[in-house]
Structure 1
């Protein structure tokens, strides 16, 4: 959509250049490819290009000559996942938000700020956003919902599978204790959610369920892939080994400790390997449409993170099967409204 907006502004001779900012290298690379294809030109900031895709982190390293050059042109600036940038003023802005307020806010002819999760877990205001007073509700110029996207056929309808257990027994010094659900176990004992997602039996159950579902989908769509979201690098390694050795699946792993993580993500995106295991490298904005199953075993609890991970399996492609399934352990009552079908497994 953002590339289409840029295309039409160029057609109407309303802009000269486009700058795109996003939170990670993988997202910035995806934007570069999309804009190059839609605008039919280089999008690398070099001679002859009409734009460039950068990370928010890169803003602080652009020198004065860059900004002086940009000021000579009519520029469309696109901010992807703008919720990463907070601050209603320079004094209270985070590092990325401050860079936007100081260097970009008064520079752009047009701005387009995008977010699939337009709020922050710390409740701070999003940079450049408008809020109602005194309610503090975000004012959006346009909102395109998941329900609309599903109806329009541009997103898959997600199915959320909540894993629970109605007959949990834990051995303690006082004897065995039983719990009617994982939620009750977490509330009434010293067992943490991290204990659950590191438990061998629980992990094998989740992974087996995910593998069975992916195998079913791949009968119709042979290149369909799955994502496992791990809680740590060691957890990711363990899960990758489990997929390979226990379930005979081809799997690759990407974490912040991998120097070639972006290249590995691109190889998986364009390949046929069944699984990719990640800690935080594949969440918001990462464009891998062949992902259709997600096994969510992260210890991050925020709704924002869950929604971002869910979004990785919703992008439609040309495959015959367009199912989308996310599997995770039920640790609380869902706090979000969803039009998807929920399934509670024993």
Structure 2
């Protein structure tokens, strides 16, 4: 039985567009937080109604996104396996698999067999243009897929590698089939937050890589190398610029939390040691202990998930909380990294712009920036879109300057000190920024044309798991089976290997990792009977 789903306006337009075409490849460029996952799953389910035999293959850049996609799909009744081992076929109680682009490269041939005539969804598709190995592997693995849907929120590339299955014009410009921008989302209302970009100036003192001492503000023209050194000096954790930036961010967050008690900040840092140093400064200013999520901490993803669902005030990270991370309660960001690439900038801003309907029409976000011309250029593009959309200006948007990460000479470089340009009245500055924040109520919310029927996927379970992800059920059954094996081994004195072999034979299992839900349930039932008779 079909269910009814209310789409956003862009989702309905893009759905109508892809269903009206006979294109085998479709590229949708949708800003972070715009709802591209829901749209893609809707397309897949409606496509499976006419093509129930087709498997579903979803590719993503990171392991955490595998789990997010599998759980999102399960809410629609679509079961995707994020534990695919690169060898086995799709489990009988699964509609498909979800895997990383790295897995595509390491298991290209097995995937090509599974993906034959499949519905393929390639999330954050721009990643395969950055790694030629990934791109070549994806082209081969998905060559015979029946339908290929590519999604990206940030389609910029800093290299010359073409993105597989994408269309380019004669000048080499990417030609998406559908585009939904920040300006479009603000015009619709109720999709993303308007982001404010307070720029903090200052005076920096440092010893250059050549050995001489330099003093400069952000307004002074410098060479590329000296610009990089000036920014690194401002971002030094023990400098005055960082203290001022964090103090202003904390004041803003306190104002936001008066109406939104769960609101939080995310601090984007240079490297792991820098993140720990910044966390120390934040704690000194606020009295609050932030979570620190860095790559060498195996618990970092768990920390970020707990932060997303908690009430703590701050997360400090390097690149762990960028693409694919969803924490809608984050409303304040501080740019404390020397990365000046458009791709990462857009991803970071995307972490604080996600809309929460329960907060009402006025829920701005803030990203505090060094007043560095390269970062200002990146923010300028978003600010122009925001201003043009919300204030109905008629002048054309000016193109944002493309910025690149600057190679830094570190032989003799040393940050000596920094002093931020402080607002004369910090409280008044916060109030002024809050007053200037626009209201963006959702439009078209009552349009009946946005309601569509979403059919259920082909049946895989004897009983509907009611939105629960099958891989979570499998994980639970594997855990319970392992506990039963240990209990039998203790009671009978038999080795674990012998117990496992007997139970596998009873349930018709060759490898526990490839077992279906029914097989694991039968295995657990046999183990319970063995325990009762022992």
TM-score, L = length of structure 1: 0.86
Give the match's secondary structure for 2:331: strand
Give the whole-Å Cα distance in 2 for the aligned partners of 1:295 and 1:231: 12
Give the match's secondary structure for 2:58: strand
Give the match's secondary structure for 2:302: helix
Residue from 115, 125, 128 that aligns with 1:85: 128
Distance 1:231 1:15, change over 3 A: farther
Aligned positions of 1:279-318 closer than 5 A? 279-318=318-357
| 1:30-87 superposed Cα distances (whole Å, 9 cap, x missing partner) | 22221121x224322643121222211111333745543443xx42111111111128
Give the whole-Å Cα distance in 2 for the aligned partners of 1:176 and 1:63: 54
Match of 2:167 in 1: 130
Work out whether 1:145 is the aligned partner of 2:142: no
How big is the shift at 1:326?
A: 0.7
| 1:9-37 superposed Cα distances (whole Å, 9 cap, x missing partner) | 23444663222111112222222221121
| 259-268 or 315-324: bigger deviation | 315-324
Work out whether 1:324 is the aligned partner of 2:395: no
Contact 2:57 2:115 in 1 (8 A): no
Give the whole-Å Cα distance in 1 for the aligned partners of 2:300 and 2:331: 21
Match of 1:164 in 2: 201
Contact 1:230 1:297 in 2 (8 A): yes
Give the whole-Å Cα distance in 1 for the aligned partners of 2:40 and 2:329: 22
How big is the shift at 1:310?
A: 0.7
Distance 1:225 1:3, change over 3 A: farther
Contact 1:120 1:126 in 2 (8 A): no
Contact 1:19 1:77 in 2 (8 A): yes
Work out whether 1:260 is the aligned partner of 2:306: no
- Of the two structures, which has the highest relative contact order with CA contacts closer than 8 Å and spacing of 6 or more? 2
| 1:285-317 superposed Cα distances (whole Å, 9 cap, x missing partner) | 212211111111111111121111111111112
Residue from 47, 50, 70 that aligns with 2:95: 50
Distance 1:228 1:11, change over 3 A: same
Give the match's secondary structure for 2:351: helix
Match of 1:90 in 2: none
Question: Which structure shows the higher helix fraction?
Answer: 2
Contact 2:108 2:141 in 1 (8 A): no
Give the match's secondary structure for 1:306: helix
Q: How many residues matched?
A: 331
Give the whole-Å Cα distance in 1 for the aligned partners of 2:160 and 2:201: 31
Match of 2:452 in 1: none
How big is the shift at 1:172?
A: 8.3
Give the whole-Å Cα distance in 2 for the aligned partners of 1:52 and 1:284: 21
Give the whole-Å Cα distance in 1 for the aligned partners of 2:356 and 2:64: 19
Work out whether 1:60 is the aligned partner of 2:105: yes
Residue from 47, 60, 80 that aligns with 1:9: 47
Distance 1:148 1:43, change over 3 A: same
Give the match's secondary structure for 1:114: strand
How big is the shift at 1:238?
A: 0.9
Give the whole-Å Cα distance in 1 for the aligned partners of 2:368 and 2:204: 23
Work out whether 1:22 is the aligned partner of 2:67: no
Work out whether 1:120 is the aligned partner of 2:157: yes
Give the whole-Å Cα distance in 1 for the aligned partners of 2:206 and 2:260: 44
Distance 1:188 1:227, change over 3 A: closer
Contact 2:79 2:95 in 1 (8 A): yes
Alignment RMSD (CA, Å):
2.8
Contact 2:244 2:422 in 1 (8 A): no
How big is the shift at 1:263?
A: 1.6
Aligned positions of 1:137-286 closer than 5 A? 137-152=173-188, 153-165=190-202, 168=203, 170=205, 179=216, 181-184=217-220, 186-187=222-223, 190=226, 191-198=229-236, 199-286=238-325
Distance 1:132 1:185, change over 3 A: closer
Q: Structure 1: give runs of 5+ residues left out of the alignment.
A: 88-92
- The structure that has the greater radius of gyration is 2
Give the whole-Å Cα distance in 2 for the aligned partners of 1:112 and 1:284: 19
Give the whole-Å Cα distance in 2 for the aligned partners of 1:99 and 1:171: 46
Distance 1:110 1:325, change over 3 A: same
Contact 1:229 1:298 in 2 (8 A): yes
Give the match's secondary structure for 1:77: strand
Residue from 377, 381, 384 that aligns with 1:335: 377
| 1:91-129 superposed Cα distances (whole Å, 9 cap, x missing partner) | xx612111101211x131111111122121124322221
Give the whole-Å Cα distance in 2 for the aligned partners of 1:117 and 1:267: 26
| 1:167-202 superposed Cα distances (whole Å, 9 cap, x missing partner) | x374889x99764x4141754995431111115211
Distance 1:15 1:254, change over 3 A: farther
